[in-house]
Every structure is written in C-alpha cells, then in structure tokens.
Amino acid sequence: MSRSSVQGVVTSGYIGATLIGIDVSNEVVLKMKNCASISVLMLWLVIVGSTPFPTSGQQWVLPRTPHGQPDLQGNWTNATLTPFERREGQEPVLTPNEVAVIETRQVERRQVGSAASDPTRPPPAITGQLGASYNEIYYDRGDQVARVNGEPRASLLTRPYNGRRPALTPDGDRRRREMADFNSQFGEFDNPENRPLVERCVMFSHRAGPPMIPNGMYNKNYTIVQGSDYVMIHAEMAHDTRIVRLGEPKPLADHIRPWMGDSWGRWDGNTLVVETTNIHPGQEFRGLLPSGDLKVMERFTRVDEETIHYEFTIEDPTTYTEPWGGEIPFKRFDQLLYEFSCHEGNYAIANVL
C-alpha cells in the first residue's frame, strides 16, 4: 500500500494553550501569549544564528563516512513519471509543454481517483471482467518526470540513443520462444509455481535489482547503509536486501547464482561502481530470463544533498546484440521505510487457484 506522512505545521507566531475548567482573564491570556511569543522568537534567533545556512555562491560539500568514503547513506526513492523506454522516434529530452502535460495529468488522475464513490451509483454490468484491483489512493507513481543534469528525460533508458532495448540475438530469441512454449503447456492458474515471483512474494526483481528500476505502483523506496567493507541496499518492496562487498573481487563459482546475483563494489573517485554477475536463472527481467553471461554495471554518485545519480549498463552478449542502459535520479526520501508484509493477509494465490 502507499504511504502517508504526518507533518507538523506552525500556524501562528505564538504557542496557544487551552486551559480547561479555569477562569482566566483576557489580560492574563494576552500576557501568556506575549511571553510565549518572545520565547519562541528568542529560540528561533538562537537556532538561526547557529545554523550554517549556505550563502549565495557557497558550494555544496560532499559528505563522507567515518571511513572517508562518499556518504550515500539514508533513505532514497526513484519514483518518477518517466517511462522505462521511449516511443519510436521520440526525442530523449521532453519539451516544457510535454512536461506540463505529463505532470498535470498525474495531478488530475490522483484527484479523480481519490474522490469519494457515488453511493447512488448502479451495480456494474455482469458481462466481462470486473475490475477489483487497487484504486488511485493506493498508488504512488511519483509526481514529476526524471531530471538528469537539469534535463527532463523522456525515458529512463538512454543507451542505445533511441531509448529502447536493442534487438535480441538469435540465441536470445530462441530462449524467449522456448520460455513461451514451455509456459503455454500449463494453465496460468494450474498451480502456484506458474504464478509470477512477484505474486508469490519471492522476488520483486527489477525493484531490488540489479538494475534498480522503479515500478509503476508504489513503495519505490530504498535504504542505503555503508560500512568500510560492505554497502547494504534494502528495497522496501518487498523484502529484498542486496549486500555489495567492497575490495578485490572474489567471484562465486559459476553454478552458484543467488537472487540479485553476486555484487562487488569499488570506488572510482567519488562514484561507487558495482559489478554484478551470477544472477539467479529464475530472476526474470522485462520478460526474459538471464543467461549465464549477464553482467550488470551500476554507478552511484552523490551529486547534491538531495540526489544520487544512478547509472546502469547491462551486458549480455548471449541475449542482446549490444549493451544497453540508462540513468535514474534517486531523490532523498524523508520518511521511514516499513516492513512490506507481502504474505500477511494475502489471499491472492489461494483465490486464483
């Protein structure tokens, strides 16, 4: 489910107090308010005087961990209205008018979807398939397009230039057809093994990565924790945690292929470079299962207080005719991440079988 936050709002210049059962004159109340006003003002002046606000022209300083590494820690989100791929022939950067249309449409969709249902509406028609999924109140698609280097992007994919995945190799196309033929032998709802990993709460593959691609639903949130020798990346949905080992790579044996693969990281200046191989053969990504040759390169660069620039490249010469990849801004997320209890109260599998 999507989240909501509670924020404190200062609505006046004094602290008001409600006195219950006590008869207090207006003069006393006024004096109390004035005293409170002065106290708040003095406290505010102390805070302002001791807070290092950046002055005009002051440069942002990259924070570092106690180990001297660039600090990527905290909660982040990659929620965006920018699609994964571009339309055929579409330019890579959106015009101001296109941005306005996309972002305004999302505001309107949220307003319409969050409106109360009409209690006098008639029952739906009994023909066809009835929709009984989430309504708009559950979704958290984001409210802006992705901006990289100030450019509003038309797609998260940037390589190849057309912003679309490259063609499959003959072997990649053969494996795609074999997968489709194999699945066609069974009814979609014959047994739980035929249901997707997401529905079985096993793996939300492209949420946790690699690469880490925003989903079209909700909870596109991550926590990053750093140590001297490890980096942990926890995805809120569903319960996936990646451990990136730092230092000289000691790859796993070829036959050991865990969920999310085997990740090793190193620092290239201020950028964390992560190389992942040995990805689980059942970890489907965009409709294809990975080959044993799949390698994912990721680059994490803190560019300001609110943003990590995330870049990924996929190399799988057995499956694709060329490498491909993209860029996604991760924005600071000033809320908590919660346990995604995917199985708790989840009757999806039982109901569809």
Asked if residue 55 is part of any domain, the answer here is no
Same domain, 169 and 20: no
pLDDT of residue 46: 38
pLDDT of residue 288: 85
Same domain, 19 and 98: no
CA 202 to CA 278: how far, in whole Å? 18
Same domain, 20 and 85: no
pLDDT of residue 284: 84
Pair of tokens at residue 316: 């799988």
Are the C-beta atoms of residues 260 and 245 closer than 8 Å to each other? no
CA 68 to CA 61: how far, in whole Å? 13
* Cα separation values, 210 from 73, 261, 278, 289, Å: 18, 8, 11, 13
pLDDT of residue 28: 37
Q: Are strands 271-277 and 147-148 parallel, antiparallel or unpaired?
A: unpaired
CA 299 to CA 269: how far, in whole Å? 11
Same domain, 306 and 230: yes
Asked if residue 58 is part of any domain, the answer here is no
Same domain, 170 and 280: yes
Report DSSP letters for 98-122, one per residue.
HHHHHHHHHHHHHHHHHSPP-TTPP
Task: Domain of residue 275: give its range.
Answer: 74-109+134-352
Same domain, 271 and 203: yes
| Closest to 294 in 3D by CA, of 270, 272, 311, 319 | 319
Give the count of domains, the chain: 2
| Closest to 304 in 3D by CA, of 136, 71, 146 | 71
pLDDT of residue 131: 62
Same domain, 150 and 36: no
The count of other CB atoms within 10 Å of the CB of residue 328 is 23
Are the C-beta atoms of residues 77 and 222 closer than 8 Å to each other? yes
Q: Which residue has the tokens 């924020």?
A: 7
pLDDT of residue 57: 60
Asked if residue 179 is part of any domain, the answer here is yes
Are the C-beta atoms of residues 112 and 105 closer than 8 Å to each other? no
Asked if residue 57 is part of any domain, the answer here is no
- Report phi then psi at 235, rounded to 5: -95, 130
CA 302 to CA 329: how far, in whole Å? 10
Asked if residue 314 is part of any domain, the answer here is yes
Same domain, 158 and 290: yes
Asked if residue 270 is part of any domain, the answer here is yes
Query: What pTM value is reported for the model?
Result: 0.79
Same domain, 19 and 105: no
Are the C-beta atoms of residues 281 and 289 closer than 8 Å to each other? yes
Report DSSP letters for 79-102, one per residue.
--SS-SSPPTT--SB--HHHHHHH
Query: Per DSSP, which regions of the chain are E strands?
Result: 74-77, 147-148, 151-152, 157-159, 221-226, 230-235, 241-246, 262-268, 271-277, 295-304, 307-315, 324-332
Asked if residue 89 is part of any domain, the answer here is yes
Residue ranges of the chain with pLDDT lower than 70? 1-57, 127-133
Cis peptide before 63 (omega within 30 of 0): no
Same domain, 255 and 324: yes
CA 235 to CA 241: how far, in whole Å? 6
Asked if residue 65 is part of any domain, the answer here is no
Same domain, 222 and 328: yes
Same domain, 21 and 105: no
CA 338 to CA 216: how far, in whole Å? 19
